[in-house]
Amino acid sequence: MKKIRRKRSRIISLALIITLVCDQNIANARESMRQNAVLKAAQTSEKTSTSHVIQDGSMTLEEQDEPATQPQTETLFLNEITSQRSENSKQYMMSDKSVTVVLYDEPIHYEDENGNLIEIDNSLIKT
């Protein structure tokens, strides 16, 4: 009886060790893939112009075929293009004349009586 319990506990221990080692290797592989993607995106952005799409705080780069004519500089948000609003997105004009689209999972605008999209105010009011 004790031998069977010992054998079971050894098998379970071995299975747990293998699981932990494999899980760590998978996490390391994902991290290295993420770093490679960032490096590739950085190298590509030097060669071509890019269009940025931000989705819930994570930014993805979409390549365009035209070559970049100006050196890369820091771009700033100038203003929101309110005519291009949708229920789940906003578009901004950047300082380099590009347009950045910000997408959200949940609605951030609602339609008023006149058909205009108004930003949802999530602030709390003390009563």
Assigned domain for 51 exists: no
The structural domain count of the chain equals 2
Assigned domain for 127 exists: no
CA distances from 104 to 3, 57, 85 (A): 58, 9, 12
On whether the pTM is more than 0.75, the answer is no
Assigned domain for 64 exists: no
Residue 7 DSSP class: H
In this predicted structure, what is the pLDDT of residue 11?
A: 93
pLDDT by residue, tens only, the chain of 127 residues: 788 888 999 999 999 888 877 777 776 777 777 776 666 666 654 444 445 555 554 444 444 445 555 555 677 888 888 888 898 888 888 888 888 888 888 888 899 999 889 888 888 888 8
Assigned domain for 25 exists: yes
Assigned domain for 58 exists: no
- How many helical (H) and strand (E) elements, i.e. helices and strands, does the chain have? 1, 7
Strands 117-119 and 58-67, sheet pairing: unpaired
Assigned domain for 84 exists: yes
Domain range for 102: 77-119
